[in-house]
């Protein structure tokens, strides 16, 4: 009979469960870096301490250190020590306010066992991701399946290349269930994949279409300034965007300005399963860095404005096509915008397609050239001028912006050009 293995995770279904923090030594220093995947046990002076971040129901099995180390009660520790003595290191630990003994578990045994072909989907770290130390390892593994023949005698282990996952043999799972340990959840990683060959082929085709464009876009962004790799920009699944992914990027530029760009409007239409540049454009709005504090970007007016413009671009083909061809003025809701930009009707106007000496009009991707459409916030008087003097109004505004040196940059406080 083939051996069965399971991913061991923390049961997150209970709303009353506690949440643990980073493990500390007797001097109050974090111990994670000294323990993680360390094959030889580490010596500590004094007992380790695990703070409780959120008080709730204590569990026999919980993760501390953002998921790196299980913290277990004595009965769980004894079971692991009995069944997998060579796989685990147990460190006595005190959990704040709890009188009973706990143990921090370090699992340092790595086994090269992931069956790439049987998994739902695997993604790898590549040179363009900017992490040379991780190239060739797994960036993401969905629907994990492992090859049991590669495991050997390991009972508790981590898969090579994706060590944040904790795997256990079936007898360990059954023993932990027999003692009634709380906080455990098991997902089998052996046996046939739940995906059919047809589903697998579809996902493979989706990857082939959706993986190349982001790398091409990122190469362009990096040429425009310093791409912020750590910014927590909003990301969402959005079925109205071509590849169903709505992403954004921040690029820090000279003179204390930040460029916000959309990422995904030029993805291939995933529903068609064929190469394309989607809507054929991405949006860009440049503003003062002070207007875009990274910790609250979703509440910043430049991002709010760009996101509202993206909705109009996605919803209306004539707006997209005119923006790709030339200049377009557009109005959106003014809620949350600086008062200086809001008209008496509660709207904010923008000029799409303002040419810039520092931004490309087009940029290349594997499936074709994409138009980079600038979004410039207009003052109410400028919007009124564009409407009153249509169709020449937008072009005259663009000429005056270029002449003033403002070009595509959006500012809430500036002098009107009309």
* Percentages of the chain per state (helix, strand, coil), in multiples of 5: 30, 30, 40
Give the dihedral of Cα atoms 138, 34, 62, 70; nearest 10 deg. 70
Cα 137–chain centre separation? 18
For range 223-228, the mean pLDDT: 94
Given a contact cutoff of 8 angstroms between Cβ atoms, the answer to whether 313 and 323 are in contact is yes
Whole-angstrom distance between the N-terminal and C-terminal Cα of the chain?
Answer: 82
User: What 3-state DSSP class applies to 297?
Assistant: helix
The pLDDT > 70 percentage for the chain reads 99
Strands annotated E in 343-417: 347-352, 362-365, 368-377
Measured CA distances, 307 to 198, 261, 283, 296 (Å): 36, 10, 9, 15
Check whether 195 has a pLDDT greater than 80.
no
**What's the confidence (pLDDT) of residue 335?**
94
Given a contact cutoff of 8 angstroms between Cβ atoms, the answer to whether 270 and 243 are in contact is yes
Q: 74 φ, ψ to 5°?
A: -65, -35
Check whether 275 has a pLDDT greater than 90.
yes
Find tokens 């703070």 and name the residue: 51
pLDDT band with cut points at 50, 70 and 90 for residue 36: confident
Distance CA 136, CA 126 (A): 7
Task: Express each pLDDT in 96-118 by its tens digit.
Answer: 989 999 999 999 899 999 998 88
Tokens for 351, please give them. Answer: 């000029």
Tell me 205's DSSP state.
Answer: H
CA proximity to 360, closest of 255, 248, 225: 225
Check whether 171 has a pLDDT greater than 90.
yes
Please, what sign has the CA dihedral across residues 167, 169, 172, 176? positive
Check whether 368 has a pLDDT greater than 80.
yes
Given a contact cutoff of 8 angstroms between Cβ atoms, the answer to whether 257 and 409 are in contact is yes
pLDDT band with cut points at 50, 70 and 90 for residue 124: confident
Measured CA distances, 226 to 76, 229, 247 (Å): 48, 9, 18
H/E segment holding residue 397: helix 393-404
pLDDT band with cut points at 50, 70 and 90 for residue 200: confident
CA diameter of the chain:
83
For the chain, the average pLDDT equals: 91
**What's the confidence (pLDDT) of residue 129?**
74
Neighbour-count burial of 148, counting CB atoms closer than 10 A to its CB (0-12 exposed, 13-18 middle, 19+ buried): middle
Check whether 334 has a pLDDT greater than 80.
yes
User: Residue 231: left if φ>0, alpha if ψ -120 to 50, beta else—which one?
Assistant: beta
Task: Express each pLDDT in 393-418 by its tens digit.
Answer: 999 999 999 999 889 999 999 999 99
The pLDDT > 90 percentage for the chain reads 70
Tell me the domain boundaries of the chain.
5-188, 211-404
Distance CA 310, CA 246 (A): 10
CA proximity to 410, closest of 255, 285, 258: 285
Check whether 13 has a pLDDT greater than 90.
no
For range 162-182, the mean pLDDT: 96
Given a contact cutoff of 8 angstroms between Cβ atoms, the answer to whether 210 and 270 are in contact is yes
Given a contact cutoff of 8 angstroms between Cβ atoms, the answer to whether 123 and 143 are in contact is no
Task: Express each pLDDT in 125-144 by its tens digit.
Answer: 888 777 888 888 898 898 89
Neighbour-count burial of 100, counting CB atoms closer than 10 A to its CB (0-12 exposed, 13-18 middle, 19+ buried): exposed
pLDDT band with cut points at 50, 70 and 90 for residue 17: confident
Alpha helices by DSSP H, listed for 316-374, are 317-325
Complete DSSP assignment for 211-245: SHHHHHHHHHHHHHSEE-SS-----EE-TTSTTSE
pLDDT band with cut points at 50, 70 and 90 for residue 53: confident
Q: 313 φ, ψ to 5°?
A: -65, -40
Task: Express each pLDDT in 281-323 by its tens digit.
Answer: 999 999 998 887 766 688 899 999 999 999 999 999 999 999 9
Check whether 178 has a pLDDT greater than 90.
yes
What's the pTM value of the predicted model, to 2 decimals? 0.65
CA angle 160, 161, 162 (to 5 degrees): 95
**What's the confidence (pLDDT) of residue 303?**
94
**What's the confidence (pLDDT) of residue 1?**
62
């Amino acid at each position: 009979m083939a051996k069965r293995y399971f991913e061991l995770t923390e049961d997150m279904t209970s709303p009353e469960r506690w949440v643990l923090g980073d493990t500390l030594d007797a001097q109050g220093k974090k111990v994670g870096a000294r323990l993680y995947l360390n094959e030889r046990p580490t010596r500590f002076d004094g007992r380790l301490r695990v703070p409780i971040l959120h008080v709730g129901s204590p569990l026999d099995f919980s993760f501390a250190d953002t998921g790196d180390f299980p913290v277990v009660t004595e009965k769980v520790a004894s079971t692991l020590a009995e069944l997998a003595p060579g796989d685990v290191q147990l460190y006595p630990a005190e959990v704040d306010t709890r009188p009973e003994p706990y143990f921090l578990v370090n699992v340092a045994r790595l086994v090269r066992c992931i069956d790439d072909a049987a998994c739902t989907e695997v993604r790898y770290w590549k040179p363009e991701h900017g992490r040379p130390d991780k190239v060739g390892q797994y960036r993401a593994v969905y629907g994990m399946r492992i090859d049991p023949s590669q495991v050997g005698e390991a009972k508790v282990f981590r898969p090579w290349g994706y060590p944040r996952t904790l795997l256990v043999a079936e007898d360990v799972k059954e023993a932990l269930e027999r003692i009634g340990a709380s906080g455990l959840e098991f997902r089998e990683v052996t046996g046939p994949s739940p995906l059919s060959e047809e589903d697998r082929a579809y996902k493979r085709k989706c990857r082939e279409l959706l993986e190349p464009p982001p790398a091409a876009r990122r190469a362009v962004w990096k040429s425009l300034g310093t791409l912020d790799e750590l910014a927590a920009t909003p990301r969402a699944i959005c079925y109205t965007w071509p590849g169903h992914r709505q992403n954004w990027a921040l690029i820090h530029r000279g003179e204390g300005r930040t460029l916000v760009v959309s990422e995904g409007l030029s993805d291939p239409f995933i529903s068609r399963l064929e190469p394309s540049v989607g809507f054929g454009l991405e949006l860009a709005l440049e503003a003062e860095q002070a207007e875009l504090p990274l910790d609250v970007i979703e509440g910043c007016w430049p991002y709010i404005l760009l996101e509202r413009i993206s909705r109009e671009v996605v919803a209306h083909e004539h707006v997209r096509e005119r923006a790709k061809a030339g200049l377009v003025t557009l109005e959106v809701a003014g809620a949350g915008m600086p008062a200086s930009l809001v008209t008496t009707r509660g709207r904010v106007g923008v000029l799409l397609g303002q040419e810039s000496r520092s931004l490309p009009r087009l940029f290349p991707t594997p499936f074709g050239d994409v138009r980079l459409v600038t979004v410039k916030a207009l003052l109410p008087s400028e919007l009124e001028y564009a409407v009153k003097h249509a169709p020449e109004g937008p072009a005259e505004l663009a000429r005056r912006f270029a002449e003033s040196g403002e070009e595509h940059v959006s500012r809430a406080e500036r002098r009107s050009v009309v």
